[in-house]
Every structure is written in structure tokens, then in C-alpha cells.
Structure 1
Amino acid sequence: MAQWDQLWIDVNIATMALNSDVPYGAIKEGAIAVKDGKIAWIGTYKDLPKFDVFSTPIYKGKNRWITPGLIDAHTHLVFAGNRANEFEMRLNGASYEDIARAGGGILSTVQACRDATEEQLFELGRKRLNALAKEGVTTVEIKSGYGLNTETEVKLLRVARELGLHHHIDVSTTFLGAHAIPAEFKDAGADAYIDYVINEMLPKINSDNLADAVDVFCENIAFNLDQTQRVLTAAKSYGLNIKLHAEQLSNLGGSTLAAKMGALSVDHIEHLNEDGVKALSQSDTCATILPGAFYFLRETQQPPIELLRQYNVPMVVASDFNPGSSPICSTLLMLNMACTLFKLTPEETLKGTTIHAAKALGMAESIGSLEVGKQADFCLWDIDSPAELSYRYGVNPCLQVIKNGQVLPIHNH
């Protein structure tokens, strides 16, 4: 007789398992059993094995849907200050150059982060994680990149690590020191700054175990292919995962480089061409699309969704939550935006925030789908079909979140 810590019945389950031959990996009239924080059994209720009915807490879903916990695989969630004034300036006709001359842009956020204490950054980050948690997010990636010196990059990553320790959302951290050239390296140039990233920042961050991955902004306004390769090579020498901001504003071939080097993901990719897509298809690298930035910047060049489908490249959907180009702290909204702006299907967007997002964090063995042996991270939704998660927005349908087998306090009811 099975011994379980909890059992969920009277539910429909979108397992998101890739080996399923039905949409969403759906199990109608299903059940999920949890033991020691992991999924111990999953299937149809009629196939439920005998279990100790007297000692097992039973939860009834009233025929609602369960999905894996959502995963936001690209955020810049730890930052101070905001750029609402720049938003207003742009809408009143100011150019990016005007804003930069007035001390705006990424360097204004850098200054705010350098000035902020760890306690202030932690409290800001906690509020943002709470907002994501209410929407069923159970794992999030947090990048640095708003310090651009060793002290502040370490501070941002330390806060991200602390958030992961003190919040029920799991946090994966990414070092993005090569995000922009700070003012103090304006004269010395990009190569000198990359030397600093590799020789000063990276050893410190690695020795303090502050990063799970390393990212670079590979773009005309940031760092070229050679500089990008140098950072990624150094990261790999420490055994760290690598990923890339690539092909957002132009096509430098960053995605092809990332695929050859074994990156977890390439992100943005609006200007990715067929050669780049082909390179991704011959690797394990995911393509992360960020509809929030596309929307907020009013971009017109769409990522090559049809090519990504044609070559079977896993598509990830993430918020890119940041103060400059996607100040939108909502993973659920990204599901709708990915459908409406890029014509992804609801199933593709849900894969993009579950199983494919897990792959983009190097965590697909433990999270991202509901299968025996994986972490018991899942959500109960007040919906009649999984497509509703992409279809509507504004009334939060998340009824319950289970994290590592723990039924969490309900935040929004």
C-alpha cells in the first residue's frame, strides 16, 4: 500500500511532458501523489493504486486544471531606481541621445544600484518575487548587469542568492557583467572593460559561488563576437553555464557562436536568420523570446517563429523584467503577449514557461513538467482549459501553489 504525503484528485493535469502524444500532455480526471517533495505517482484517477487513505491528506481540485509551476527564465529583477522619467521624456519627443546626455539609460540604473544597500535591493526584489509568486511562478532566473564594477555586481548577485534562500521561489543566478561599458571605461574602451570582467569580476564571483551562469550582451551597442567569445570561454573554464543576449537589434551571429559553444539559451533573437536557427537546431541551445521588451520598445522586427518551429528549436517565453526595456513584472502577461504579438499557440507559450524554460536554466531533469521523480512544483488554476492562461489577463486564476510538495499559503484570496 502506497505511503504518500499528499494526494490531489478531481483535477485535470497539463503535465507538459515532451514524450506525450496529446496536447499539453493532458491527463483528464487525473491525480497526483507527492512524497518527500517529489511527484511519486501521476495518472488517471481510475488507475490510482491503493494507498493509506487514513494518513494521506487529500486535496480536491473541483475539476480544475493543474500545470507545472511557471518558470521565468530571463529577468533582471534585482535593481534600484526606475526610469519612468525617461519613459515620459521619450513620449514627449526626446531621443535616446537626449536621454543619455541627461544621465539616463542603463547608466542611471547602474548609479542607483551602486548607491543602494543590500537591504534596499533585497526588499525591492522580495516585492517583485511576491508578484510573480501570485501568478504561479515557482522558479526564476535573476541576472546582474546593473553594477558594472566588481563590488556592485557581487552585491546584486549576493542579493539574488539571498532572495532564493528566503523566498519559496527558487532563484537561478546569472552574471551579466558584460552588459554595457561603464562610464569609467569610456576612454579605455570595450576591450579593456572585457579584460576587467574576465580578470577581476569573474574570479571573485566564481570563488563566492554567486552565479550559476554567465551572460553577455552581444550587440553593436555593447560587445562584439570576439569580446563575447572571450567572456564565454572564461566562464566555461570555471564550469559555469553560458547564455547570450543576441540578435536583438542586429544580426552579429551571436546565436551561431552560442550554439557552437554549448550555451543554454540565446535571448531576444528578433534579427536571427535561418543560418542561426539551423545552428541552434544542431545544438541543445534554446531560443528565448521576450515579448515584453518588443512591446515596450515598440519594435517591429519579429523573431523568426516559423523557422524556429520548422527546425524544432525549443522556444522559451520570459518576461525580461527590467527597468529600461521591459518594466513588466508578470510572467502570465507574457503568455498572452507571445500569442498576440508573435502568434505562438497557447501550448507553445505554456511549454515556453515550463519544460522549455527549465531546459534554458539547465534544470529540465528536476522541474518544468509533471513526471514521477521530478520536484513537486505545480499550480492549481481556476480555468476550464490550459489555453485560458494565454487567452485572458487581469483576473488572476492562480488558486494554489505547491512548491517542493509544500502547499503554500494562498496569497491572493
Structure 2
Amino acid sequence: MALKLFRHARIYTPLMGGCPAAGDEQGKLAVYEDGCFLVEDGCFLAVGATRDVEGHLKGRAADREFDLGGAAVVPGFVDPHTHACFAALREEEFSMRLEGKSYLEILQAGGGILSSVRAVRSASDEALFAFSRSLLESTLLYGTTTIEIKSGYGLDVETELRMLRVIDRLGRETPQTVVPTFMGAHAVPEEFRGNPEGYVTLLREEMLPAVARQGIARFCDIFCEEGVFSVEQSRRVLERAREHGLRLKVHADEVHDLGGAVLAGELRAVSAEHLLAASDAGIEAMRRSGVVAVLLPATAYSLRKPFARARTMVEKGVPVALATDLNPGSCFCTSMPFVLSLAVMGMELTPEEALTGATLNAAWAVGTAHDAGSLEPGKMADFLVLDGETPAVFAYASGARPIKSVWKLGERVA
């Protein structure tokens, strides 16, 4: 591939360390006011001050040069928590929530996740792929170059495997890097109503072995929440997932402080996600085990709930990541810039901390930190050219899309 030289960039990037950025490190960025970078074979060859980067040319001329005109450049967003494989919207539930119905009340009435399960089970593979691809196109426009997608709208062996095949195809046929997560433990399906233990047995004895044989999913997630899966049920499912070679994630303490964050710490899960109701004990358990707290401020906004305690988590030394939670019900959001704006204005993160949460720490949360999440030699050349001078523009330009262009593997894709 051609050697590309990008000049006159105001570069802002977290830098790779041996673990996710936590505490004071979360807000530290490398900044190059008159920055420059080289891209070859889809990866960064050199990034930094212009004179240093030009030294890497060693007399070689770049095949193409780009003048970025002093615009800010940041890593492409890594969205570490989405449910972006589904077949229909659930706009009517928005009105139900405005009328006072709770998330769990809607779920128990056969709506929520179970509504999406019925839609996915009845959709063809092609229809499911086409609908999901349109969602990814929107996320790409908003700067997401790596995205995690969970299954969990099948809730039987056949449909969960089918969802994972569609997610895998999305990774092969769209520009983005896609990280597949198995979440058969998203809810108890209607056919097991009144028998959650029977479904836990199905997860452990049939679904997980089948998912492992298929070889697509990299992680296993579970909705550890009152009215869904208990802490002990979650522990048994996750331990079996680990036996089958999957890394662990936990939907933890979204509505109630059930102890999901504590469980994530005990099992040394890669991440605990949601955490609106996480206790001090849960935060401490995550800190001790280095669990990444994946926070979803657009979900709190959509559900009209208090935000997760991001400031406390950072101050306690828990690495914080940010995600959209793109899904058809509780949070139909494709915009990472909106998430960063909420994180700064609603969760008291600094713009620098929010950027790290949406890039490098998010990459750690989905196992791609050695390839994505920062502008450094050897990593994928995934970056955003901003319509602004600093990362603060995501909060400053509330509700806007302050992005001039999106680049994936050194190619402009949006």
C-alpha cells in the first residue's frame, strides 16, 4: 500500500501502557500542536512532531500527502458496548417510559428484550444483516471505527448462533472492526417463563459449548439484574463460559445494586457495564481486579436515571470506558460524540478523560488495545479529523457532529 504523510494536525491521543488508564492517567494525553503522521499498509508508521516524523522517511518520498489545516486529530472511537444486531425498532416503548413504566415492568409485560427476540427469530439472515448494517453505517458517520456487538435477541441455540454469524459477516463486509460477544443470557425467554434455572442449564450445557465450537464470539456477557439473572446464576454461567475459552463481561447493577460489580471483580472480568447503581464495594472490587467500568450515559439519559458515578470511579482508580449501548429499546443511540458530551456535562469527566474512555480504555474493554484506541506506531491507522481545535469540541458543540472526516486503516471512509 502507498506511504501516506499527514501534515499540520493538532494531535491528541492517549498512549498505550501495560494496562487500561486509571486515576490521574485517564486524563493524560500526548499532544502535538504541529503534528504529523505516516501511514503505511493501513497502520501508523510514525506519529508526533513534524520534524521527528519526517526523519522516518529517510530520504523516501511519500506517495501521497494530506494537509489537515491545523484541525484536531484523535483516535477513531471504539464503542465497547452495543446490541447493534437487531431487526426492528421499539419506538413505542419510549412513550411507555414517559408514562412512567419502568424498564423491568416493560420487560415483564413481554416487551423490551423479548419483543426484539420475537423480531429477530422471525427475520431472515439477509434482513437481519441489512438492518444491522444500516446501524453500523450511522455509527461510522459518527466516528466509530471499532465496535463491539452482542448477540442476545435469539435466546435459543439456533438463533444465537445465527446472530453471531451475522455479526461476523458485519465485520467482514463493513469498514469497521467488529468484536462479537455472546449474550444468550440477556433475558429469560418466554418458553422458560417461570423456569429460569432451566434456561441457565440450557446456557451452560448446550449454548456455550455450541458457541465455543462455532468460534466467532470472543466474550460472554450476562444481564445480572433483579428479575433477570441472579448473582449466583450469573457466576455459574460465566464460569462455564471461561471453561470454554470466552473472556467475561457483566451487565452489572444497571437498575439495582445486586452485586454484579462485585461479581465482576471476583471473576476478574474484562469489564463491568452500566453500573448506574454500583455500590462503593462494587467500585472497590473493580479497582482491585483492574476491571474496566464501561459506562453508558446515553442509556441513563434515555431512561431518565441518574448517571453512573464516573467521577468517583476515576478518583478511586477504576479505568472508565464509554459506550453508546446502541439497542432498539432503552437507548437507540449511534453517536459517540453525544456520549462524550454527556460524559463531560453530566458525569463530570474532563474532555481528556472522556476521550480516553471512548478510545484506549474502550479498546482495552474489548481486547483490541494493541491494535486500536490510540495514535501510535504499529496500530491501525483509525483516526478522526475534527471540526475543532481540541477534544473539548465534543462537549462544546452539544448535539452536533464535530467531525470533518473518518479514516479507517488510513483510508477515508466517511
TM-score tier, shorter chain, comes to over 0.9
CA contact (8 A) 2:271 2:291 kept: yes
Tell me the alpha carbon deviations over residues 342-370 of structure 1, each in whole angstroms, 9 at most, x when there is no partner: 12211111111101000101111121111
From the superposition, tell whether residues 184 and 399 of structure 1 become closer, same or farther in structure 2 (CA, over 3 Å): same
Shift of 1:163: 0.4
The residue matched to 1:104 in structure 2 has which SS? coil
Matched, 1:311 2:311: no
CA contact (8 A) 1:219 1:247 kept: yes
Shift of 1:150: 1.0
Matched, 1:166 2:170: no
Amino acid at match of 2:303: L
| Cα distance in 2 between the residues matched to 1:279 and 1:214 | 20
Q: Residue in 1 aligned with 2:412? A: 408
Q: Residue in 2 aligned with 1:130? A: 137
Shift of 1:88: 2.4
Q: Residue in 2 aligned with 1:247? A: 253
1:159-198 equivalence runs, <5 A: 159-187=166-194, 189-198=195-204
Matched, 1:365 2:392: no
From the superposition, tell whether residues 55 and 164 of structure 1 become closer, same or farther in structure 2 (CA, over 3 Å): same
From the superposition, tell whether residues 97 and 180 of structure 1 become closer, same or farther in structure 2 (CA, over 3 Å): closer
From the superposition, tell whether residues 259 and 117 of structure 1 become closer, same or farther in structure 2 (CA, over 3 Å): same
Shift of 1:136: 1.4
| Cα distance in 2 between the residues matched to 1:336 and 1:304 | 16
CA contact (8 A) 2:320 2:357 kept: yes
Q: 1:207 is matched with which residue: 207, 210, 213?
A: 213
Amino acid at match of 1:315: V
Q: 1:330 is matched with which residue: 332, 335, 339?
A: 335
Q: 2:12 is matched with which residue: 5, 11, 14?
A: 14
CA contact (8 A) 2:311 2:348 kept: no
From the superposition, tell whether residues 54 and 98 of structure 1 become closer, same or farther in structure 2 (CA, over 3 Å): closer
Shift of 1:53: 5.5
Matched, 1:106 2:113: yes
Q: 1:224 is matched with which residue: 221, 226, 230?
A: 230
| Cα distance in 2 between the residues matched to 1:267 and 1:351 | 17
Moved more, 304-313 or 349-358: 304-313
| Cα distance in 2 between the residues matched to 1:355 and 1:88 | 36
Q: Residue in 2 aligned with 1:351? A: 356
The residue matched to 1:39 in structure 2 has which SS? strand
Shift of 1:158: 1.0
| Cα distance in 2 between the residues matched to 1:344 and 1:395 | 19
Matched, 1:86 2:90: no
From the superposition, tell whether residues 402 and 200 of structure 1 become closer, same or farther in structure 2 (CA, over 3 Å): same
Moved more, 67-76 or 269-278: 269-278
Gap regions ≥5 residues in structure 2:
18-24
Tell me the alpha carbon deviations over residues 367-403 of structure 1, each in whole angstroms, 9 at most, x when there is no partner: 1111122221112112111110232244422222222
The residue matched to 1:34 in structure 2 has which SS? strand
Tell me the alpha carbon deviations over residues 213-249 of structure 1, each in whole angstroms, 9 at most, x when there is no partner: 0000001121111111111111111211110000111
Amino acid at match of 1:31: C
| Cα distance in 2 between the residues matched to 1:155 and 1:320 | 21
Tell me the alpha carbon deviations over residues 251-303 of structure 1, each in whole angstroms, 9 at most, x when there is no partner: 12221221221211100111112222111111121001111110111113x32
| Cα distance in 2 between the residues matched to 1:22 and 1:357 | 14
Q: Percent identity?
A: 38
Matched, 1:386 2:376: no
Matched, 1:287 2:293: yes
| Cα distance in 2 between the residues matched to 1:319 and 1:297 | 13
From the superposition, tell whether residues 401 and 93 of structure 1 become closer, same or farther in structure 2 (CA, over 3 Å): closer
Amino acid at match of 1:181: V
Q: Which has the higher contact order (CA 8 A, sep 6+)?
A: 2
The residue matched to 2:55 in structure 1 has which SS? coil
From the superposition, tell whether residues 50 and 309 of structure 1 become closer, same or farther in structure 2 (CA, over 3 Å): closer
| Cα distance in 1 between the residues matched to 2:26 and 2:50 | 19
The residue matched to 1:154 in structure 2 has which SS? helix
Amino acid at match of 2:134: K
Gap regions ≥5 residues in structure 1:
none
| Cα distance in 1 between the residues matched to 2:44 and 2:253 | 39
From the superposition, tell whether residues 395 and 95 of structure 1 become closer, same or farther in structure 2 (CA, over 3 Å): closer
Q: 2:267 is matched with which residue: 261, 272, 277?
A: 261
| Cα distance in 2 between the residues matched to 1:253 and 1:236 | 20
Amino acid at match of 1:192: G
Q: Residue in 2 aligned with 1:376? A: 381
Q: CA RMSD in A?
A: 2.1
Number of positions where the alignment pairs a residue of Structure 1 with one of Structure 2: 405
| Cα distance in 2 between the residues matched to 1:22 and 1:291 | 18
Amino acid at match of 2:30: G
Amino acid at match of 1:225: V
User: TM-score w.r.t. structure 1 length?
Assistant: 0.93
Shift of 1:314: 0.8
Matched, 1:116 2:120: no
Q: Residue in 2 aligned with 1:34? A: 39
The residue matched to 1:49 in structure 2 has which SS? helix
CA contact (8 A) 2:28 2:353 kept: no
From the superposition, tell whether residues 21 and 102 of structure 1 become closer, same or farther in structure 2 (CA, over 3 Å): closer
The residue matched to 2:86 in structure 1 has which SS? coil
